[in-house]
Amino acid sequence: MSDTQVDGQADPGADAGGAQTTTKLTVGPVAAPAAPRQRDASRRSRSAQWLEQHAATTAAVVLAAPALVLPFGWLVVCLLLALALGTLRRAVEHEGARGPADVVVAPMRTVGSALHPGSLLRAVLAVAGAAIAAIVVSAALGALAWLPSEGTTGAPAAMRMAAIEHGPGLMSALLCFLLLRGGLGHGRSDGVAAARARALTEEGLTACVVAGAVVVLGCVALSSGSWWPAGSTAGAVGLLPGALEHEVEQAQASLVEEEAKAVADCVRDDGGPTGWRVGSAKQLSDGSYQISVRTSTQTFRRDVAVLGLALHNQLAPWASTVRIVTPDMTVAIDRTRLPAGSPLRSLDELGAAAELPKGAFGAERDAPKRALRCSAVAV
């Protein structure tokens, strides 16, 4: 706006000297309100702009990584965090006057949206997709780790054990990612993570990404053997209602018995001793199961080793103890002391888990290969 001048002249009845009084009024431009300070995106490098654009995805990956170590416990945390983020977004995007009632209404709207039939259908599809993806990826990684050094012998067992060991954690991590990715928002202009990323300097943003990568790698390193300890399995089953808990326990015991019978039959058909009898699965105090296999005929120790290796590689994870009884020896194998992510091939490790002296099973080199042929039999 340009300056404006208003000049006035004295009226005719001025003082006797005839002096004129001139009044000059100057009106300057109206100052505009100061705009909020924002970081100039053009000053960031292209890599920093890419990190900012994908901040929500990065944050979801980092926050979902602990599910690899604590699969189902962390999944509950992710669900609660996703509900909280959804409530926050609804409160921020709400138009109109805000009041104390929003504290109650916003969470109710978020929960109601989650319980909508369409949302429940998407949840079922997400669980099914995550389960399939987790099984396929875990089995593929198990095969890739096995094939270069061991070949195709035992590859089915390696894929099966890898899927059982790492599948639950990977599935939970995928579900956590889907939950948090929706709560954190999409794109540069939406979501809590993107807003926070825009407020950081490029150095701060880079440091946060590096720290997140360290967290993810640490969770991957700690993920082995995180889910299947007997206490975790029994605790999960114990949360079920009484009748359903009993049915699940019966199904677990039945599966252990059927798997042990299948392995014993396979070992027999592969040239091993006959006469193996599988007893009933016995539930132990920690919720896991013990399975016994007996024979009344004379048996070589190498045959006991083959059966022990195959049983460990085949049995479900909630079978923590295997007892093999022959006229000459009784072997009680503590499976919790053995690796669970890939088939066992070491006779010394098997002996140590049974608290036997080193070399108790001899040096039969063919025993692990024989065991691998019976480590992933159909039940």
What DSSP letter does each residue of 28-92 carry, written as one string? -PPPPPPPPP---GGGS-HHHHHHHHTHHHHHHHHHHGGGGTSHHHHHHHHHHHHHHHHHHHHHH
Residue type, 314: Q
Is the domain of 54 the same as that of 109? yes
- Of 227, 262, 292, the position where a domain reaches its end is 227
Is the domain of 265 the same as that of 194? no
Q: Distance (Å, rounded) from C-alpha 351 to C-alpha 334? A: 10
Q: Which two tokens stand for residue 72?
A: 């189902």
* pLDDT for 282: 92
Is the domain of 64 the same as that of 82? yes
Ranges under pLDDT 70 in the chain: 1-42, 90-103, 183-192, 224-235, 362-364
* pLDDT for 6: 46
Residue 241 lies in a domain: yes
Is the domain of 194 the same as that of 217? yes
Q: Is 14 helix (H, G, I), strand (E, B) or coil?
A: coil
Residue 32 lies in a domain: no
- The single-letter DSSP state of residue 196 is H
Tally of domains within the chain: 2
Q: Is 303 helix (H, G, I), strand (E, B) or coil?
A: helix
* pLDDT for 253: 92
Residue 18 lies in a domain: no
Residue 321 lies in a domain: yes
Q: Which two tokens stand for residue 108?
A: 């109710």
* pLDDT for 188: 40
CA distances to 28, 156, 191, 266 from 378, in Å: 90, 11, 49, 10
Is the domain of 222 the same as that of 236? no
SS3 helix, strand, coil % of the chain, rounded to 5? Answer: 60, 10, 35
Q: Which two tokens stand for residue 287?
A: 């919720």
Q: Which two tokens stand for residue 219?
A: 């969770």
- The single-letter DSSP state of residue 327 is S
Residue 2 lies in a domain: no
Residue 30 lies in a domain: no
Is the domain of 223 the same as that of 274? no
Which structural domain, as residue segments, surrounds residue 314?
231-372
Q: Distance (Å, rounded) from C-alpha 118 to C-alpha 95? A: 25
Is the domain of 202 the same as that of 76? yes
Q: Distance (Å, rounded) from C-alpha 208 to C-alpha 296? A: 65
Residue 120 lies in a domain: yes
Is the domain of 153 the same as that of 185? yes
Is the domain of 199 the same as that of 74? yes
Q: Which two tokens stand for residue 215?
A: 């967290």
- Of 172, 197, 227, the position where a domain reaches its end is 227
Is the domain of 139 the same as that of 272? no
Q: Distance (Å, rounded) from C-alpha 257 to C-alpha 344? A: 20
Q: Distance (Å, rounded) from C-alpha 253 to C-alpha 320? A: 12
* pLDDT for 45: 85
- Of 227, 247, 265, the position where a domain reaches its end is 227
Is the domain of 223 the same as that of 235? no
Residue 4 lies in a domain: no
Q: Distance (Å, rounded) from C-alpha 118 to C-alpha 125? A: 11
CA distances to 1, 2, 6, 27, 36 from 30, in Å: 8, 10, 18, 9, 18
pLDDT > 70: percent of the chain: 77
Is the domain of 196 the same as that of 339? no
* pLDDT for 317: 85
